[in-house]
Structure 1
Amino acid sequence: MKKWILACSLVPCCASVPAWSQSSVTLFGRADVSVQTGNAGGTRITRLDSSNVAPSVWGLLGSEDLGGGYRAIFKLEDGFNPTTGSIAGSGNLFGREAWVGLNGPFGQVQFGVNYTPFFTTLVTFAQGPLSTWGWGNASNNYFFLGTTRNSNSVRYNSPTFAGLTLRASYSNGSNGDPTLPGNLGRTFSAGLAYRLGQFSADVDYLQQSAAKTTPVNAGTTTVQGNYVMAAVMYDFDWIQPAFIFQTHRGGQNVAASSTTTFQNPNNNYYDLSVLIRHIGPGIFMLDFGQYKRLGNSSGDSTSYAIRYDYSLSKRTGVYAGVGHVRNGSTATFTMSGAQGAGLPTKPGASVTSFVLGMITRF
């Protein structure tokens, strides 16, 4: 009886304690390892690769329910090389993504290291069965990698209205570094995404400040690089074509891309990818694209690829592909993986590559 009386007396006290909000933290990742062999400028190269179809990464994703339809969110993601165990990319811990934000009826806002809306479109429309924007996609071979993500940035995704979603991001570039121009690398990107049934379309704009001359110091003059991209895709079930077209202006006729100075030659490129399903247990990916350097056709390039991906389970798959890049006399493009450098080549040399790999997720 005493125990029953004591339990009843505690009910009001317990009821007065506020309930803790629901929160979660998820550990996630994937590892992609392959063997790649190819002929690059007359030189035969065979090597063990990481991250050809998808970047090998691990990270933490978290959220907390704040009530009223609002959630505090964060993401930390780091790239690594499973063939050596080393940190990949910039070498920074969580150099791929590192942001904290808020999600609610207004949409979602993120602060830290964020991908640009430009990159979001690329990884949506540069198709691949096991992962997008990887080995075989022409847009991966020809894209200026300095604009995929930005440090010191804020990103906003709006709610979806009538199939339309607005995405925008802004990065402060050098962020007050006294040894660099104040606006070097400063980036603004915005885009509209439209979804209606099996049809998808995106339009994006990106502006980035680049150094006009080298070496770069606090007094270096900067110029604006302006990028525009449009992409469309339609899913017919058995076949799914997608097309990307991008332009860049403001490059001051620089000779080559540079991630340090954010320079990129004026160019146009396009990427046509097609997924073909229901032919055997896997999915075929066919891809064709061309890069045109404005004012200097010797910098042009053409890319071809075919890849076959087969899912062993929901988390694990294998892939095999062959690709070819034909370069103009001054171009040095190659078959690029999703992370890390492709097979090295020399100006004007063509590259033919074969890849066989496996990817698993956790």
Structure 2
Amino acid sequence: MQRKYLAVAILCTGASVGHAQSTVTLYGVVDANLEFANHLGAVPVAANGFNPGPSNNVFRMDSGGVSGSRWGLRGSEGLGGGLKAVFVLESGFNLDTGTSQQSGRLFGRQAFVGLQSDYGQLSLGRQYTSMFEALANFAPAAYATQYEPVVVMAGANFREDNTIKYTGSFGPITALGHFSFGTGLALPPTVGAPFILGGNGEVPGQFRRDTAYGAALVYATGPLGVVVGYDQFNPTIAPTAQPTNAGTGTFKKASVGASYAIGPAKIMAGYRWGQNKNQQGAEFLRDDFYWIGGTYQITTAIGLTLEYNYDNVKNQFGDAHLANPWQISAISNYAFSKRTDVYVTAAYTKNAGLAMESAAIFYANSLSLGNSYALANGQSSMFGIAVGLRHKF
């Protein structure tokens, strides 16, 4: 009998030790604002005859002004010898309507499991691309949801399904690399972009279809930071006129960036080279994207952000003479506490919609957010301003 009790005690002790080595954290952000924007039209898709329509002003409530609204779970378990099992499940949602983002995925922002050690982390699931993650600390607005031209910068495939990813930090250097067996990105044809882009991938006998890969290196020491990155996406391309004539395109991007901190201020700048080819290998987009800006923490409660973006478009669907889009944006926020702040965010864009929305990126921002930033007929600029409240938990 005593041995029986002893065995139970040992089992209970073992269970409590195992539990002590495991952690699960619930976290999230809720962010909503009231916005005004002008010169808006509809996203030009087949349903409206590829016609953005007349110019209108809009007053609306939005979800995610400076942070995408989300909730998530992250956890880890010590496996001994410095090895850990880790996971992240992160769901994006529209706070104004309660609906899911990322095409209705339950965990559309991130969903992965992996192993972590002193040699780095290897993870499997839906994850950010290497270049997107590496550039995060080199974009002044830090991917602020509402007006940041993140799709122009890193591509509409900056989150990818079916991805294996490595991340390792060695002193001042962080290395990242990933491969996706099928990104899961699908965009409909829009005006100026007369084909269906992307799909589910992972099709037997078509290994290249919707695959993607990339790598990045970040060097950060003291006030200085430097980043280089590369990303390639091989999407399904199916012409609307001949949908059976589908193949895989080749979208390439390479980037460099730098940052330097001076007291409460930080200056950031970068360059991204881009080239997209269709299923026949013909170039249909070639551009050079630049950004510069900075942040300034006036007090512990008040922060300012300013960012300028410029896209030198050399070829867009065969047109080499398009006016180059540019945008200037600003954010001012006041923190009531570490978790709650209010903000004002504003942007002015020329030769594109807010977030530099255009056919060049298949209107991916508008289609993802559910709020159009497509320019109306006859318009060449757009202005937007929003006042919002954000809480982190």
TM, length-normalised to structure 1: 0.84
User: Which residue of structure 2 aligns with residue 127 of structure 1?
Assistant: 140
In the alignment, structure 1 residue 166 sits paired with structure 2 residue 191: no
CA distance 1:272–1:136, change in 2 (3 Å): farther
User: Which residue of structure 2 aligns with residue 291 of structure 1?
Assistant: 311
- Residue 29 of structure 1 aligns to a residue in which SS? strand
Give the superposition deviation at 1:122: 3.1
Give the superposition deviation at 1:47: 0.6
User: Which residue of structure 2 aligns with residue 142 of structure 1?
Assistant: 152
Match of 2:163 among 153, 156, 159: 153
Distance 1:149 1:345 in 2: 26
Kindly provide the CA deviation profile for residues 10-56 of structure 1, in whole angstroms up to 9, marking residues without a partner as x: 66984586463211111111111001102125521111000121110
Equivalent pair of 1:181/1:219 in contact (CA under 8 Å): no
CA distance 1:342–1:275, change in 2 (3 Å): farther
In the alignment, structure 1 residue 210 sits paired with structure 2 residue 219: no
Equivalent pair of 2:352/2:375 in contact (CA under 8 Å): no
- Residue 123 of structure 1 aligns to a residue in which SS? helix
Give the superposition deviation at 1:361: 1.0
Q: Percent identity between the aligned chains?
A: 24
Match of 2:261 among 215, 223, 235: 235
**RMSD of aligned Cα (Å):** 3.1
User: Which residue of structure 1 aligns with residue 288 of structure 2?
Assistant: 268
In the alignment, structure 1 residue 191 sits paired with structure 2 residue 204: no
Distance 1:234 1:185 in 2: 37
Equivalent pair of 1:108/1:158 in contact (CA under 8 Å): yes
Equivalent pair of 1:136/1:307 in contact (CA under 8 Å): no
Equivalent pair of 2:153/2:272 in contact (CA under 8 Å): no
User: Which residue of structure 2 aligns with residue 353 of structure 1?
Assistant: 384
The code of the aligned residue for 1:36 comes to E
Further displaced range: 119-128 or 235-244? 119-128
Give the superposition deviation at 1:83: 0.8
Kindly provide the CA deviation profile for residues 166-185 of structure 1, in whole angstroms up to 9, marking residues without a partner as x: 1000001244336x954222
- Please, which runs of 5 or more residues in structure 2 have no aligned partner? 41-54, 183-199
- Residue 96 of structure 2 aligns to a residue in which SS? coil
The code of the aligned residue for 1:346 comes to A
- Please, which runs of 5 or more residues in structure 1 have no aligned partner? 1-5, 255-262
- Residue 137 of structure 2 aligns to a residue in which SS? helix
Equivalent pair of 1:274/1:286 in contact (CA under 8 Å): yes
User: Which residue of structure 2 aligns with residue 28 of structure 1?
Assistant: 27
Distance 2:278 2:201 in 1: 24
Match of 1:54 among 56, 67, 73: 67
Distance 1:136 1:327 in 2: 15
The code of the aligned residue for 1:251 comes to K
Give the superposition deviation at 1:76: 0.6
Give the superposition deviation at 1:63: 0.8
User: Which residue of structure 2 aligns with residue 3 of structure 1?
Assistant: none
CA distance 1:136–1:86, change in 2 (3 Å): closer
- Residue 142 of structure 1 aligns to a residue in which SS? helix
Distance 2:297 2:387 in 1: 20
User: Which residue of structure 1 aligns with residue 189 of structure 2?
Assistant: none
- Residue 127 of structure 1 aligns to a residue in which SS? coil
CA distance 1:218–1:111, change in 2 (3 Å): farther
- Residue 135 of structure 2 aligns to a residue in which SS? helix
- Residue 239 of structure 2 aligns to a residue in which SS? coil
The code of the aligned residue for 2:97 comes to T
- Residue 169 of structure 2 aligns to a residue in which SS? coil
Distance 1:98 1:264 in 2: 33
Equivalent pair of 2:308/2:327 in contact (CA under 8 Å): yes
Give the superposition deviation at 1:252: 5.0
CA distance 1:127–1:44, change in 2 (3 Å): same
Equivalent pair of 1:325/1:352 in contact (CA under 8 Å): yes
TM, length-normalised to structure 2: 0.78
User: Which residue of structure 1 aligns with residue 251 of structure 2?
Assistant: 225
CA distance 1:218–1:108, change in 2 (3 Å): farther
The code of the aligned residue for 1:112 comes to G
